[in-house]
Chain A
């Protein structure tokens, strides 16, 4: 790389430190980004609070579902560090691929990458490639508050306002050598800090047979179906979750 001529360094400086952005898109004054109806009850304000970090224990449909509602509502969404994001499944839930930016490998400079993405996207999904030092986390959280965006971290993030995890899940439709996956019933737990401190758990179809996300009535949960063909087995906690 050649040394930057002075005139361009000035340009680069401009690019690197954008000033405060007036007039973010979206409904002014609204403090949350919308989520799919089935997920509202899990979140203290019925949506993703702007300027906050939400963590999901592991990347998967739950993380994609949390993003889909805001994306369908017009928000730009960045996904960093998750090369295996199932965009098709997310699109089925409402994510608009046209308003999605993927950065599969943000590399060592991932905090800067996420900072840049937060300048353009209201919602950024991040799986940090490495454990983030407290200083890095605080800097990102400051950017987040300034930009009024939402950072959805998959994995552990000590400062997260809301933490979600799938504690149990079971698929229906698959037998021994026959059938195909139809629907998945999952128990999702949410807790966190402050107003989210109260632990909430909900049963969800994640996804239902039509591909959507819907609340599942515990009475309707087809335990027998999920448990087949081993009648004695109970639903197990998801490892690593």
Chain B
């Protein structure tokens, strides 16, 4: 079954406790800018989380610098040169990595897959949603482990989108399933300042209105933004760009805060330069990663509207059997029948993984099978004399298929067949590569089968009835 698994992204968080307190001051913001510059030397895709804290995907850089711990030590040394004592945490997902960085010790590495266990011990008060945390506490749910132990569907049903998000965080699944993606169209908003604005406060004020405009544009498309790029251009041509990431949605006020932090950290405007060249000329907000806004109502799903009635039913089943027990099918591209539909757990974004419209040469044309086995069923195909039918590398068969035995079922006579249709897929990837020869077989009971030979074994992939 092609169930999409949320990718466990390894995230490294660098936290400078000294800056967390004074980041709202100009000195702190400038120091944080130096930290970002230092960390950027190890990984270009550094994202600021909030003053004093930045994060990046650790997988690639860690491989390059000899492991996560080695990379962390190098970064600590580099930041120490600025005169700070950073702490580094590595884990699956931003939430866990950040808690790891804020714990004891200079470097804390939570092994892959260990985030849930690590998170379970933390009190619910570490959740950003303090109202929800307070409520959970009153209900007797003191730790993230307590929260994660409750069925997802019940938490989502009782506490809505906030509860859903908290449960995901507590279970180590990350804030969002996997729906994060760059927007398909340009949804950025621009504010020009003429004359250029030399003071930060009016710019920040304008940023809030600008952020509201951005949100309106996103909301009209049913989207929310989880990472925003703030670009400020000064009249003298200098530019400041920074990515801001948040474990949750960035409200207009939150975006304005980030604009202020970024402007505070930027090199001082050229005070000694020509008057009028020092101010900010253009402020641009680019929603860099967006997700479907599930909003407060489950009914707002984006595509087909999922009524509350359906959502309640599906979530009740998920509560009984687990999040991945209720699936929604998505027609998908692919050459094999088992790939042509992807199953997405209910509540996550339905999105094909491969291009549906692409021609996919090699896919079996004609009627689609009514029965598609999630895993090929073992079978034996023999010729008239009872010898197993084999296919050579050049697609020559050893004999005509005459008998079919599936998985220990009684033998069926083959009355018609076609093939072999060779398929060599992903030959460039030794793990995913497969070479198969496919057949359609007709048996005496009127049924038709889609069979494949792979590595000398016959598998029944689908049935046409």
Contact = CB atoms under 8 A, between A and B. Distances in A.
Contact of A61 (B141, B153, B418, B465): B465
14 contacts: A2-B150, A15-B153, A15-B312, A86-B369, A89-B370, A101-B314, A104-B374, A117-B317, A119-B312, A174-B448, A181-B442, A184-B464, A211-B367, A228-B416
Given A86-B370, A119-B312, A102 B343 contact: yes
A97 B154 contact: no
B357 interface: no
Contact of A96 (B304, B416, B448): B304
B253 to A, nearest CB: 32
A121 interface: yes
A106 B316 contact: no
A92 B337 CA distance: 14
Counting chain A residues whose Cβ lies within 8 A of the other chain, the interface size class is 35 or more
A177 interface: yes
B371 A104 contact: no
A88 interface: yes
Interface stretch (A37-45, A194-202, A230-238): A230-238
B366 A60 contact: no
A193 interface: no
A169 B316 contact: no
Interface in A102-137: 102-107, 109, 112-113, 116-121
Contact of B417 (A86, A176, A233, A239): A176
Interface of A: 1-2, 4-5, 7-8, 11-12, 15-16, 18, 21, 25, 58-61, 64, 76, 78, 83-92, 96-107, 109, 112-113, 116-121, 166, 168-171, 173-184, 207, 209, 211, 228-230, 233, 235-239
B149 A1 contact: yes
Contacts of B139: 5, 7-8
Contact of A176 (B141, B416, B448): B416
Contacts of B146: 2
A156 to B, nearest CB: 18
Contact of B331 (A16, A60, A87): A87
B325 A103 contact: yes
B327 interface: yes
A119 B313 contact: yes
Given A8-B154, A83-B374, A91 B331 contact: yes
A175 to B, nearest CB: 6
B84 interface: no
A228 B416 CA distance: 9
Contacts of B317: 103, 106, 113, 116-117
Contacts of A117: 313, 317
A5 to B, nearest CB: 4
Interface string B297-331: 00000011001011111101101110001111111
A98 B316 contact: no
Given A103-B326, A113-B321, A171-B448, A180 B303 contact: no
B358 to A, nearest CB: 15
Which among A107, A120, A238 has the highest number of chain B CB atoms within 10 Å? A120
A78 B328 CA distance: 10
A102 B465 contact: no
Contact of B303 (A78, A98, A103): A98
Given A59-B371, A101-B310, A105-B325, A236 B444 contact: yes
B400 interface: yes
